[in-house]
């Protein structure tokens, strides 16, 4: 008797393991694009259709409800996964309404050193071209081997053709308020929230046909890190319609990346609040990016939406750490504002620095809620626009 090969007909239905979730940014809202679609790494998804209906109060002598009538349609749901480098960059760009920028680099020398003074980076004249191509605010990195500096931060404005304003964050993290750095390597890039709005199509190939969700936009994306657990990502979508077709809309598939899953043991590289690291060990951090007051415009003559309202961008960070001192409570009491940063990397050294540029602390708590426990501080941190706009930025960590 043959014992090779698979048994046929064993499955009760289509299997989740066989579902390749594919997505692509739409060129025209509501129209699935041609070209390559990206395969997504995920742990679960819940994209579904929501029909809205109406039952008219029509009078009849059978004591029956009148016919149920379709009055509209929308789609929504989420895609969940674990945090790895590059996997959710497109959806981060979607919720931030922006594009990732390639890194631009300025390298100082002995003859053209970078000056640091009172929260300013002052470039020599040969750095003017570098500054002229920078956005008015954004993410920045400064490396100096001689001073053992590897700083990630946020510049909130360009003062003049030679000068960037960094603020107190650099001083608090590096303890350098005044000096010249002849081996400085300054990088700018990454992404900050903007007004480049994006919609996506998602394809679920099942049972030899294809479910196509269109005009999806990211209305919220949350990154959660907690001790003893793998960092997770939840992306929430709102969309217009779903069609089932036997015609494959996907011209080609870009494989999902195989970058290592990040962890909170060796991968969590720290939290700074206004330049200070909490004295107690961090227990959890949940970063939430969202589009407040977002929604869809609908009309007559078609199902689904005829347009998207992207609303306004907002960011919050909820953190918990062991209580040791009142530093962050005093910052709350004084109404202090400033940058808050969170850094996480994978085993290969690639990762992210997430920075709320002009944050403020609300609702600090340190409850004693039972015996034989270590007291935990809980903070809600909210982002505010900077002087030239810009609430939040991300810089990729790329090992040298």
Give the mean pLDDT of 267-295.
96
Final residue belonging to a domain, choices 192, 212, 237: 192
pLDDT at position 1: 56
Q: How far apart, in whole angstroms, are the C-alpha atoms of residue 48 and residue 74?
A: 9
Domain count, the chain: 2
Q: How many other C-beta atoms are found inside a 10 Å radius of the C-beta of residue 107? A: 14
Q: Which tokens belong to 390?
A: 């810009």
Model pLDDT for residues 199-208, shown as the tens digit of each residue: 999 999 999 9
Q: Is the pLDDT of residue 193 over 60?
A: yes
| Domain shared by 254 and 391, yes or no | yes
Final residue belonging to a domain, choices 175, 192, 209: 192
CB-count burial class (<10 Å; 0-12, 13-18, 19+) for 39: middle
pLDDT at position 10: 87
Q: How far apart are the first and last CA of the chain?
A: 58
| Domain shared by 211 and 346, yes or no | yes
Residue 176 in domain: yes
Final residue belonging to a domain, choices 144, 176, 192: 192
CATH number of the domain that residue 117 is part of: 2.40.30
Residue 58 in domain: no
Residue 5 in domain: no
| Domain shared by 89 and 148, yes or no | no
| Domain shared by 133 and 261, yes or no | no
Q: How confident is the model at residue 3 (pLDDT cuts 50, 70, 90)?
A: confident
Give the mean pLDDT of 371-386.
96
Residue 4 in domain: no
Percent pLDDT > 90 in the chain is 84
Residue 128 in domain: yes
Model pLDDT for residues 331-363, shown as the tens digit of each residue: 999 999 999 999 999 999 999 999 999 999 999
| Domain shared by 201 and 340, yes or no | yes
Closest CA to 223 of 152, 285, 272: 285
| Domain shared by 280 and 169, yes or no | no
| Domain shared by 35 and 76, yes or no | yes
Model pLDDT for residues 75-95, shown as the tens digit of each residue: 999 999 999 999 999 999 999
Model pLDDT for residues 298-315, shown as the tens digit of each residue: 999 988 899 999 999 999
| Domain shared by 272 and 155, yes or no | no
pLDDT at position 168: 84
Q: Is the pLDDT of residue 2 over 70?
A: no
Residue 181 in domain: yes
Q: How far apart, in whole angstroms, are the C-alpha atoms of residue 309 and residue 371?
A: 49
Give the mean pLDDT of 47-67.
93
Q: How far apart, in whole angstroms, are the C-alpha atoms of residue 258 and residue 361?
A: 37
Give the mean pLDDT of 148-161.
92
Higher pLDDT, 157 or 375: 375
| Domain shared by 175 and 241, yes or no | no
Residue 301 in domain: yes
Q: Is the pLDDT of residue 51 over 80?
A: yes
Q: Is the pLDDT of residue 278 over 70?
A: yes
The strand pairing partners of 319, in sequence order, are 285, 379
Percent pLDDT > 70 in the chain is 100
User: From the centroid of its chain, how far is CA 339?
Assistant: 17
| Domain shared by 241 and 277, yes or no | yes
Dihedral class, residue 126 (left if φ above 0, else alpha if ψ from -120 to 50, else beta): alpha
| Domain shared by 178 and 206, yes or no | no
Residue 263 in domain: yes
- Average pLDDT of the chain is 94
pLDDT at position 389: 82
The strand pairing partners of 315, in sequence order, are 289
| Domain shared by 127 and 273, yes or no | no
Give the mean pLDDT of 257-265.
96
Q: Is the pLDDT of residue 387 over 80?
A: no
Find the helix or strand (DSSP H, E) in which 171 lies: helix 168-174
The boundaries of the domain holding residue 143 are 101-192
Q: How confident is the model at residue 247 (pLDDT cuts 50, 70, 90)?
A: very high
Q: How confident is the model at residue 117 (pLDDT cuts 50, 70, 90)?
A: very high
Give the mean pLDDT of 244-248.
94
What pTM did the predictor assign? 0.94
Q: Is the pLDDT of residue 400 over 80?
A: no
In three-state secondary structure terms, 85 is coil
pLDDT at position 399: 86
């Amino acid at each position: 008797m043959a014992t090779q090969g698979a048994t046929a007909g064993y499955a009760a239905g289509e299997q989740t393991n066989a579902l390749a979730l594919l997505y692509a940014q739409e060129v025209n809202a509501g129209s699935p694009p041609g070209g390559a679609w990206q395969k997504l790494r995920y742990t679960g998804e819940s994209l579904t259709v929501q029909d809205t209906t109406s039952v008219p109060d029509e009078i009849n002598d059978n004591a029956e409800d009148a016919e149920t009538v379709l009055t509209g349609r929308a789609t929504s749901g989420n895609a969940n996964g674990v945090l790895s480098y590059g996997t959710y960059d497109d959806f981060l760009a979607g919720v931030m309404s922006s594009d990732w920028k390639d890194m631009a680099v300025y390298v100082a020398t002995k003859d053209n050193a970078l000056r640091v003074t009172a929260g300013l980076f002052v470039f020599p004249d040969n750095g003017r071209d570098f500054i002229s191509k920078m956005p008015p605010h954004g993410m920045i990195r400064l490396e100096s081997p001689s001073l053992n500096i590897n700083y990630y931060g946020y510049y909130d404005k360009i003062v003049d053709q030679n000068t960037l304003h960094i603020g107190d964050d650099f001083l608090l993290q590096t303890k350098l308020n005044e000096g010249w750095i002849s081996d400085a390597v300054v990088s700018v890039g990454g992404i900050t929230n903007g007004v480049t709005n994006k919609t996506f199509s998602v394809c679920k190939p099942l049972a030899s046909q294809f479910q196509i969700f269109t005009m999806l936009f990211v209305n919220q994306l949350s990154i959660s890190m907690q001790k003893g657990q793998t960092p997770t990502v939840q992306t929430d979508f709102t969309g217009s319609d779903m069609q089932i077709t036997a015609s494959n809309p996907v011209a080609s598939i870009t494989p999902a990346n195989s970058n290592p899953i990040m962890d909170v043991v060796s991968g969590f590289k720290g939290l700074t609040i206004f330049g200070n690291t909490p004295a107690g060990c961090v227990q959890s951090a949940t970063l939430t990016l969202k589009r407040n007051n977002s929604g869809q415009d609908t009309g007559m003559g078609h199902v689904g939406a005829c347009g998207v309202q992207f609303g306004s961008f907002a960011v919050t960070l909820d953190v918990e750490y062991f209580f040791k001192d009142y530093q962050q409570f005093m910052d709350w009491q004084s109404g202090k504002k400033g940058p808050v940063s969170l850094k996480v990397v994978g085993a290969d050294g690639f990762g992210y620095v997430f920075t709320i540029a002009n944050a403020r602390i609300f609702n600090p708590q340190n409850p004693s809620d039972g015996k034989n426990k270590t007291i935990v501080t809980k903070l809600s941190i909210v982002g505010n626009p900077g002087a030239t706009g810009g609430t939040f930025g991300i810089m990729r960590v790329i090992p040298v």
